[in-house]
Amino acid sequence: MSLDSRMSLVVADVPAAIYSPTALQHRLADPEWVSRCGAAHHAVSEALAKRDALIPMRFLTLFSTEAMAVTTLKRSTARLVDTLARVKGREEWVLRIGKPDPQRAPARPPARSGAESPSGTAFLRAKADARKQASERARRVATDAMNVFETVRKVADQATTRPIEPGLNVLLDAALLVKKRNVPALRRSLARAAAGLLEEGCPISLTGPWPAYSFASVRDGNG
């Protein structure tokens, strides 16, 4: 469906019995259903992104009619055209750095020998030293993770960090918008910058290419 001579809108009809607001409330409580729909949504976005510049719509963006979709999006034509130009020829890559493996913590110095008893004071001192080392290591790797991000973002056109849910063993969750021709440079930059974190036992992943979810999503909809 054409919005104007510069853009097209890809849509699909869905049954109201499943996608009405009332029906969706029940469906969204089913994680398997949400997972299947999310995977299908991503597969379509990924296929389209391989063909041309794409602004992916948020999962479960719904319009009551095609006319409503066109009318709503045409109000943002100038912004959408600028966004398409910004993501054209670029890919999103996701960088995640995990917290270090505690089994690979630096070895503690051997316990002191001599008159000092191995129990009591020495035990408490060893516990305090261990906590101090763990705290210093946590600060060090957190700083190193941000330094890695600052290094690799120089290869990207845009970069952003994303909130980390409490309880996850993650130091950094970041998205980078990178020209396709610069992806090899991104990998080389990451390999150099992250060497120290790998030695600390931090798991590091760079995944992609993805559609530009973090940099070009459509927020309008559900009208």
pLDDT tens digits, one per residue of 157-208: 999 999 988 888 899 999 999 999 999 999 999 999 999 898 888 899 999 9
Sheet holding 90-98, edge to edge: 158-161, 170-179, 90-98, 204-210
Task: Give the closest residue to 170 by CA, choosing from 94, 99, 93, 95.
Answer: 99
pLDDT at 194: 93
| Per-residue model confidence (pLDDT) at position 175 | 96
Which of 89, 114, 149 is the last residue before a domain boundary?
89
Average confidence (pLDDT) over 92-112: 72
Residue with tokens 């104007």: 4
Q: Are residues 134 and 193 in the same domain?
A: yes
- How far is it, in rounded angstroms, from Cα 86 to Cα 54? 10
Q: Look up residue 71 and give its DSSP letter.
A: H
Q: Of 75-89, 113-127, 156-170, 198-212, where does mean pLDDT reach its minimum?
A: 113-127
What per-residue confidence (pLDDT) applies to 146? 92
pLDDT at position 139: 84
Instruction: Provide the strand spans (E) within the chain.
Output: 2-4, 7-8, 90-98, 158-161, 170-179, 204-210
Q: Model confidence over 48-71: pLDDT tens digits?
A: 888 888 888 888 888 888 888 888
pLDDT at 64: 85
Q: How confident is the model at residue 127 (pLDDT cuts 50, 70, 90)?
A: low
Torsion-angle region of residue 221: left (phi > 0), alpha (psi -120 to 50) or beta?
A: left
Q: How far apart are the first and last CA of the chain?
A: 18
Whether residue 216 is contained in a domain is answered as no
Looking up residue 202, the CATH number of its domain turns out to be 3.30.70.600
| Tens-place pLDDT, residues 134-162 | 667 678 888 999 999 999 999 999 999 99
User: Do 44 and 24 have their domain in common?
Assistant: yes
Query: What is the spatial distance between Cα 164 and Cα 175, in angstroms, rounded to a whole number?
Result: 13
Q: Do 147 and 37 have their domain in common?
A: no
Identify whether residues 126 and 23 lie together within a single domain.
no
When divided into structural domains, the chain yields a total of 2
Poorest-pLDDT segment among 29-33, 85-89, 103-107: 103-107
Domain check: are 146 and 102 in the same one? yes
Q: What number is the average pLDDT over the span 88-99?
A: 94
Q: DSSP alpha helices (H): ranges in 50-157?
A: 66-74, 77-87, 121-152
Q: Report residue 169 CA to chain centroid gap.
A: 14
pLDDT recorded at residue 185: 97
* Domain end position, chosen among 50, 71, 89: 89
Whether 34 has a pLDDT exceeding 90, the answer reads yes
Task: Say yes or no to pLDDT of 223 above 80.
Answer: no
Cβ atoms within 10 Å, residue 111: 11
Domain, as residue range, for 141: 91-210
- Percent of the chain exceeding pLDDT 70 equals 82
Amino acid letter, residue 196? G
Structure tokens at 58: 């948020």
